[in-house]
């Protein structure tokens, strides 16, 4: 799982750098000096990064508070026999420790109430990866809008062969970007076909829109703005991925430490297996990141 998350980060970092260099090239060659395009690029990237960072945190916290308030209302409407023990009445404990259900005594939760508790835990567990996948899809979509503008501009200039070559190259290049959308959802173990279709449309449809815009009214300034927004969105997603991976590694190390303590008490054989399997997760992260960069570089040669 860490390998695929870091592979996603590698794909996105390459896309972000590529978008920055592409917008800088357009500003240097095609934009009038009065617009100061090369200074405009980092400004747009920073503004986009901070705006999306605020929005993603806001909507994530809003969704979590909505689930928590819904759970509290259900708890109040339930009878005393179906409610949680006062010692375990905190939703924050459930959120921070999904394994709470396994360690909870039958006295604390009734059979009917346990099902509701499992649903609350599942909702909390799926919010973060779902939000992350959505932000990745939005970032890739904004980047693909710039690619569509390039295709449309080639058609507008009458270079049909170039536009066809760009379409084929971008298609192969963008196929690998689908891994970036799917990777955060892999840990949930759920097959969400409808959501994946929606995210695929969010990432892919802007290419078509950009092609139409570029084919009719292509301006270097619009290209710089759209590509820079895409770069800012991509860098924000990379930041969110880094935070997500650091939390995942902390949880994994804590779990390994607990398993090691249990293994010392019960059997040393089990402990040896666990430590050998999770000996160095940093190796998978580094390998995944480098693999992501290489994949995007190799497929980028076709564009």
| pLDDT tens, position by position, 142-179 | 888 877 887 887 777 777 776 777 777 777 767 777 77
Output the six-digit token pair for 159: 């270079």
Helices (H) and strands (E) in the chain, counts: 11, 0
Q: What is the pLDDT of residue 124?
A: 55
Inform me whether the pLDDT recorded for 42 exceeds 90.
yes
| Mean pLDDT to the nearest integer, 126-130 | 73
pTM of the model: 0.64
Nearest CA among 53, 77, 73 for reference residue 65: 73
Ramachandran sector of residue 267 (left: φ over 0; alpha: ψ -120 to 50; beta: rest): beta
Inform me whether the pLDDT recorded for 271 exceeds 90.
no
Output the six-digit token pair for 298: 């190799």
Q: What does the alpha-carbon distance between residue 106 and residue 158 come to, in Å, rounded to a whole number?
A: 73
Q: What is the pLDDT of residue 107?
A: 41
Range of the domain at 205: 2-300
How many domains, in total, are found in the chain?
1
| Mean pLDDT to the nearest integer, 67-75 | 62
- Report which of residues 253 and 197 the model is more confident about: 197
**Can you tell me which residue has the tokens 């590509």?**
227
* End-to-end alpha carbon distance in the chain: 30
């Amino acid at each position: 799982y860490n390998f695929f998350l870091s592979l996603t980060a590698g794909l996105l970092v390459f896309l972000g750098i590529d978008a920055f260099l592409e917008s800088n090239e357009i500003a240097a060659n095609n934009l009038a000096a009065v617009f100061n395009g090369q200074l405009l690029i980092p400004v747009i990237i920073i503004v986009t990064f901070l705006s999306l960072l605020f929005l993603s945190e806001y909507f994530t916290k809003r969704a979590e508070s909505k689930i928590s308030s819904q759970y509290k209302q259900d708890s109040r409407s339930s009878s005393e026999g179906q409610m949680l023990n006062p010692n375990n009445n905190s939703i924050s404990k459930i959120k921070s420790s999904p394994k709470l259900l396994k360690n909870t005594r039958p006295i604390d939760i009734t059979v009917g109430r346990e099902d509701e508790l499992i649903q609350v835990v599942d909702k909390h567990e799926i919010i973060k990866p779902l939000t992350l996948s959505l932000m990745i899809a939005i970032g890739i979509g904004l980047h693909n809008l710039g690619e569509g503008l390039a295709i449309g501009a080639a058609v507008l200039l009458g270079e049909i062969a170039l536009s066809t070559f760009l379409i084929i190259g971008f298609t192969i290049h963008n196929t690998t970007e689908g891994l970036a959308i799917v990777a955060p959802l892999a840990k949930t173990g759920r097959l969400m076909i409808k959501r994946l279709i929606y995210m695929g449309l969010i990432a892919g449809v802007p290419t078509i829109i950009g092609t139409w815009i570029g084919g009719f009214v292509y301006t270097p300034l619009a290209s710089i703005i759209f590509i820079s927004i895409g770069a800012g969105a991509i860098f924000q997603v990379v930041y969110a991925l880094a935070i997500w991976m650091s939390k995942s590694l902390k949880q994994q190390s804590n779990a390994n430490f607990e398993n090691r303590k249990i293994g010392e008490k019960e059997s040393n054989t089990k402990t040896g297996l666990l430590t050998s399997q999770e000996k160095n997760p940093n190796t998978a992260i580094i390998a995944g990141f480098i693999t992501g960069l290489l994949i995007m570089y190799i497929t980028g040669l076709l564009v």
